[in-house]
With several copies, the nearest count.
Chain A
Amino acid sequence: MRFAPHTDDDVRQMLATIGVASLDDLFDEIPAALRVEGPLDLPGGVSEQEILEDLGNLARADRSLEDLVCFAGAGAYDHFVPSAVWALAGRSEFFTSYTPYQPELSQGVLQTLFEFQSMVCELTELDVSNASLYDGATALVEAVHMARAGGRHRVLVAGGVDPRLVATLRTYGAGSGYAPEVLEAPAGWGGVPAELEPDVAAVVVQHPNVFGILEDVTSFAELAHGGGAELIQVFDPTSLGVLAPPGALGADIAVAEGQSLGNHLNFGGPYLGILAARMEHVRKMPGRIVGETLDVDGDPGYVLTLQAREQHIRREKATSNICTNQTLMAIAATIHLAWLGPEGLAELGRRCAAKAAYAFTALTAVPGVRAAFPDAPFFKEFAIRVPGEAAEVRDALVDRGFLAGVPAPWVGSDVLLVAVTERRTKAQIDALALAMGEVLA
């Protein structure tokens, strides 16, 4: 299949206008020695029907959540995506456009991003949000860079922070000159140090944390602020209908993985990096920021603003190198949040919490299974200890149609993280408990 529209006649006339004899002549700047002789070692082109059959076969070789009941989380969750979300975000005027360099032709994307920023501020009770980053992990990286812009170097990370976030921090830190220091948290949460050295730029806490546990964010905030550092909170947007927002808990910068807002699991991406902060940080923020302004008639409109922060203007002095971002995911998140409203978001949170609590009771009642962190309060995810290897139990349950959770080897090879969204039913939870009992018997 081909999309280039040229007829032989077009090619002939265009070459004539250009003033060259052949298509090959257009490439004569390429030194002979560098020219590829003969075709690349790739299959030949195929038709639309063939490529869709090929892709269909690959897709069918996967076991998707259409046939596995999902209790896996650890940062990516099987929430319900309302049909209206992608019926709208999927409109081609949105998804075939690009960065709004000509704002007059891009008011749709710009206004939607302005609404996204506004909703993120409403959720977090912080002053300002950008218009998306790659994902939750890279959003945390950017938050740390914002905090380090002050000149301090060290980065302390609470023990309850997801190790894959820490790993991502470590990778980027190698370039920026820091190594995240992870605090002890034997109880699965807390572990607030007595005090802070003056060279600490940021303290990072995740709430609910990687084990789903509700952290004592305020203590971390007091620690950070007492020591002149910034508090960065990693939050879960689906929790903010019921849980106190980062702004109220003392966070200076808050970041999140926004996948659970209208985005499909997509085997890991594209997801949505959310970053919000207090106003004083606005000029240190990475990425696109949309602002409202007026046109020459004095009517309101939207533009990209504070671009002096960005790479295309500030180059090596930019706050970040990000250019292409996750705008379409932000559009989907905006539509999903508008679909939910304050009531729906609260209902969503209540359902997650209630079903997770029920699942906790059901699973810890399975002989041999116990809570990894018995009396820690949690939101929609929790950790259990199973007899034997968590990974093996998980695999055995796959054969019974369940994706039972995600192993947490860093706290023990027998630990399994179990996430329960509003999408799960009591019947499914009971069935999982039953199956787990059988598997362990």
Chain B
Amino acid sequence: MRRGAPVRGQGPPAASTIAELSRPGRRAWSFAPLDVEPVEVPAEHRRASAPGLPEVSELELVRHYTRLSQMNYGVDTGIYPLGSCSMKYNPKLAEVAAAMPGFARMHPLQPDATTQGALELLWRLERALCELTGMARATLQPPAGACGELTGLLMMRAFHAAQGAPRAKVLIPDAAHGTNPASVRMGGFDAVHVPADDRGLVDVEALGRAIDDDVAGLMLTNPNTLGLFERDIERITKLVHDAGGLVYYDGANLNAIMGRTRPGDMGFDIVHINTHKTFATPHGGGGPGAGPVGVVERLVPFLPVPRVERDRDGAFHLSEEAPASIGRMHGFNGNFAVLVRAYAYVFLHGADGLREVSERAVLNANYLAALVRDVFPLAQPDLRPMHEFVSTSVELKDRTGIRVMDIAKRLIDLGYHAPTVYFPLVVEEALMVEPTETETRETLEGLAAALRQAAAEATTDPQALHDAPLSAPVRRLDEARAARQLKLRW
């Protein structure tokens, strides 16, 4: 039964690519007649055979991608509780703003005199992010969080080099997101993992032992990957500072603390923000995002170029003059149109609005946790999670053999997108849940009921879990086969 389900438009039932619709001579394109002399590309440079692009009419094009879009779940179709991703409502007004010709139709290399509005927007946003995080200056150039991390690490590297004492190691917690160690390596450091204590927090003793004068710095999220606030954070940052290191704040979890506390106040020296998380810029199916990075005063000289500066007369310009800068992290000015959306979100909410955002994000996570923790116990039952929580279904697995992946697939048939599963790796059968502040109580209760039903079915109707999903455009897909028999193009 398809009760309330979307209409299936005409079109081949099984996945068929646009190439299969192609017919020689069909076309969607149109160009104005050539109004100058045609020229021939020199023979030695000419392409021998045309690329195998599809030939379709505009209507076929429209139907194909409309159909594909409908085969996709998004925040606009339902709750999307991926942990550490802050899949909140993406305001439509931000799309209207980003489409304004004064933003969308601007060449990145226009002279400053013609880009004063864009530069002022970046200038204001930089200041707001600094206030929100407690930093002195920021770069808005990194196109995503991971690039922000690398930006921070390269500044760390430049800082120590400038001290005349390069350092080789960067500490990260076991549970850190994969981009952290990967960025550490791309920054030219060795990643040293610090264990968590039995509360799931940084083991401060172990940290102390790990720190020496070859440690360039420490990377941390706070609240951490388990959604727990590192209450010893002051001791932690002091330990690192005392050893001459820097502390990096991975801002993926900033949605938990806005207006409540600031990384700068905790002693962090470098902070990145994921605008596509905290500031609701659309995730775009995997991107684009933006990963602005703020730093404390002593690191300002190392910020990337170009930077937005303001002259005495109040005019803005892009400046490349910064001898100690690490250089440029992006071909142009970063993901500007994403930053326009971030600006819209930050200034729409303002100080109290952002504080409320975090307040409600934490409220929603704790409420949902309260509704399911008896069935899916928290990985750390003794501490209160903040904007997200991590449960484990290891007991369920031991008892019934049902894996958390089966639960995830069953949720699809129950009308929900699953939380993050099998992350963090330090938790067995992990279920990492971040509902965000824009979900209603009813929606949280609906998801909780679905999770509980799935867990109950592990004993009452395991087949339903093994067979799931039955209501999606495809059934469970063979990922091993995909990696074994590579088919990466038509």
Contact = CB atoms under 8 A, between A and B. Distances in A.
B482 A303 contact: yes
Nearest to A353: B39
Residue among B46, B355, B479 with the highest chain A CB neighbour number at 10 A: B479
Interface stretch (A12-20, A184-192, A195-203, A225-233): A12-20
A294 B96 contact: no
Interface string B421-461: 10100000000000001111100000000000000000000
B331 interface: yes
A365 B374 CA distance: 70
Interface string B401-422: 0000000110010000110110
Interface in A295-348: 295-297, 299-303, 305-308, 310-318, 320-329, 331, 335, 337-348
Interface stretch (A26-34, A150-158, A433-441): A26-34
B363 A8 contact: no
Interface string B67-90: 011111111110010100101111
Contacts of A177: 188
Interface in B103-158: 103-111, 113-118, 120-121, 128, 131-132, 143-147, 149-150, 153-154, 157-158
A30 B85 contact: no
B243 interface: no
Given A29-B386, A104-B476, A321-B146, A62 B103 contact: yes
Interface in B2-28: 3, 7, 14-15, 17-19, 22-28
A95 B188 contact: no
Nearest to A174: B154
B181 A311 contact: yes
A377 B355 CA distance: 43
Given A4-B356, A267-B118, A282 B486 contact: yes
Nearest to A87: B92
B6 to A, nearest CB: 9
B165 interface: no
A91 B66 contact: yes
Contacts of A266: 103-104, 106, 335-337
B456 to A, nearest CB: 20
Contact of B288 (A245, A329, A347, A398): A329
Contact of B66 (A47, A88, A282): A88
Contact of B42 (A57, A59, A214, A322): A214
A51 B348 contact: yes
A396 B265 CA distance: 48
Contacts of A321: 146-147, 149-150, 179, 182-183, 185-186
B348 A395 contact: no
Given A17-B371, A93-B73, A321-B183, A40 B259 contact: yes
A194 interface: no
Nearest to B359: A23
A137 B274 CA distance: 21
Contacts of B107: 65, 70, 72, 76, 78, 265, 267, 403
Interface stretch (B51-59, B207-215, B292-300): B51-59
A411 interface: no
A115 interface: yes
Contacts of B177: 312, 323
B31 A351 contact: yes
B352 A87 contact: no
Contacts of A28: 384
Contacts of B87: 98
A270 B36 CA distance: 33
Contacts of B27: 341, 343-344
Contacts of B238: none
B391 interface: no
A355 to B, nearest CB: 6
A21 interface: no
A310 B327 CA distance: 26
A270 B146 contact: no
A135 interface: yes
A213 to B, nearest CB: 11
Size band of the A side of the interface? 35 or more
A305 B234 contact: no
B257 A30 contact: yes
Contact of B7 (A36, A105, A308): A105
B69 A91 contact: yes
Nearest to A98: B283
Contacts of B343: 55
B381 interface: no
B321 interface: no
A305 B488 contact: yes
A353 to B, nearest CB: 5
Given A74-B109, A240-B47, A344-B27, A268 B102 contact: no
B349 A106 contact: no
Contacts of A366: none
Contact of A104 (B26, B42, B409): B409
Nearest to A318: B182
A303 B59 CA distance: 27
A17 B476 contact: no
A167 interface: yes
B376 interface: no
A87 B85 CA distance: 24
B356 A269 contact: no
A281 B295 CA distance: 37
B472 interface: yes
A349 B31 CA distance: 11
A94 B68 CA distance: 9
A325 B144 contact: yes
Contact of A59 (B38, B103, B333, B473): B103
B385 to A, nearest CB: 9
B147 A138 contact: yes
Interface string A129-141: 1011011111000
Given A72-B107, A138-B147, A293 B488 contact: no
A43 B477 contact: no
B441 A107 contact: no
B370 interface: yes
A65 B110 CA distance: 10
Nearest to B176: A315
Interface in B319-334: 326-334
B326 A171 contact: yes
Contacts of B115: 62-63, 267
A384 to B, nearest CB: 16
A55 B125 CA distance: 12
Residue among B87, B120, B340, B351 with the highest chain A CB neighbour number at 10 A: B351
B132 A294 contact: no
B441 A13 contact: yes
Contacts of B160: none
A171 B188 CA distance: 12
Given A19-B370, A322-B144, A300 B353 contact: no
18 contacts: A1-B349, A18-B370, A40-B131, A42-B346, A63-B114, A96-B76, A96-B77, A112-B65, A123-B51, A174-B188, A175-B153, A243-B47, A292-B487, A295-B474, A296-B476, A301-B15, A318-B178, A324-B289
9 cross-chain pairs, A with B, having the tightest CB-CB distances, nearest first:
A59-B102, A268-B332, A344-B29, A61-B117, A328-B284, A268-B108, A137-B331, A108-B72, A327-B286
Given A135-B332, A174-B157, 4 more contacts: A47-B30, A95-B282, A101-B421, A340-B53
